[in-house]
Each structure stands twice: as structure tokens, then as C-alpha cells.
Amino acid sequence: MIGVNYHIKMIIPNKGEINAELIRIKAPQLTEQLVRILPLNTRAIRRGNIFLIPINQTFGIEKPIKKVKKSDLVYDPKSQAILIILENTELDFRVAQIGTVVKNLELIQKLKTTVGVRIESLNQ
């Protein structure tokens, strides 16, 4: 199970789909816990260079970081949310890197308002 990557799909109704992968080696316990709560329906909002997807689940973070790169998928325990990073930046708070967006990041960059999001696992 060490090298397993979980492929996920984020569906934004009437807009499109974003493909991403959760990389287990980055935060093994956290990625396992996230995969267990899928599928998940929620609302998401773009705040500057961050796309915030609240999941209302509290998890501990493993290997906390502050410096993040474009297309990173990170978990923020304070906001109980998955964040998609839209530009390289250094955050004021610590997050756990859990994966990366593989396809269609530009879809998020076009969004201006709050949108519905459904996150599904593509692994069987």
C-alpha cells in the first residue's frame, strides 16, 4: 500500500470536471481517511490564489508545510477544507500536502463565484 495513488474526480455541475490524485506517500493516514469519506458533495469558493473546498471533517496533519506550488492539493485543518493552490506561494499557516491536480486546473481559474462540487474516487 505504500506507493498507492488514489485518482479522484471533482465534478462542478454545468462547468466540467477536474482530475486529481491523492498521493499516499505524502500523508498516508490523511489520504486514507479522505478516501473513506468519498463521495462527497459540498460547496466551494475561490479566494484569491486558493480554491477552498470545505469537507467539515477534522483530521490531524502529517508533514506540515507552508510553501506550496501551483496545482497542489493540500488539507487545512483549521478551515477543515481541501485547498487547491492556483499559484506558487507561501502560506501563513501550516497545511498537509495530499496530492496534485492532474487535469483541468484552468477550469478553477475561470471561476468567480461559489460553486457546487462533487468529489468521487476513480479507484475501484
Write out pLDDT tens, residues 109-119: 888 889 999 99
Burial class (CB in 10 A: 0-12, 13-18, 19+), 20: buried
Identify the bridge partners of residue 73 per DSSP, sorted by sequence position. Answer: 84, 99
- Domain of 20 in residue numbering reads as 5-121
Taking only the tens place, the pLDDT of each residue in 64-114 is: 999 999 999 999 999 999 999 999 999 999 999 999 999 999 999 888 889
Q: Can you give the pTM of this predicted structure?
A: 0.91
Give pLDDT, residue 63: 87
Task: Output the CA–CA distances (angstroms, integers) from residue 44 to 33, 40, 48, in the order listed.
Answer: 20, 12, 13
Contact 23, 99 (CB under 8 A): yes
- Could you tell me the pLDDT band of residue 57, with boundaries at 50, 70 and 90? confident
Task: Take residue 102 and report the three cell numbers written for it.
Answer: 492532474
Q: Would you tell me how many other CB atoms lie within 10 Å of the CB of residue 68? A: 20
Residue 13's domain is classified under what CATH number? 2.40.100.20
Compute the distance between CA of residue 35 and CA of residue 7 in angstroms, rounded to an integer. Answer: 10
What does the mean pLDDT of the chain come to?
91
The total of structural domains in the chain comes to 1
**Locus of grid cell 506540515:** 64
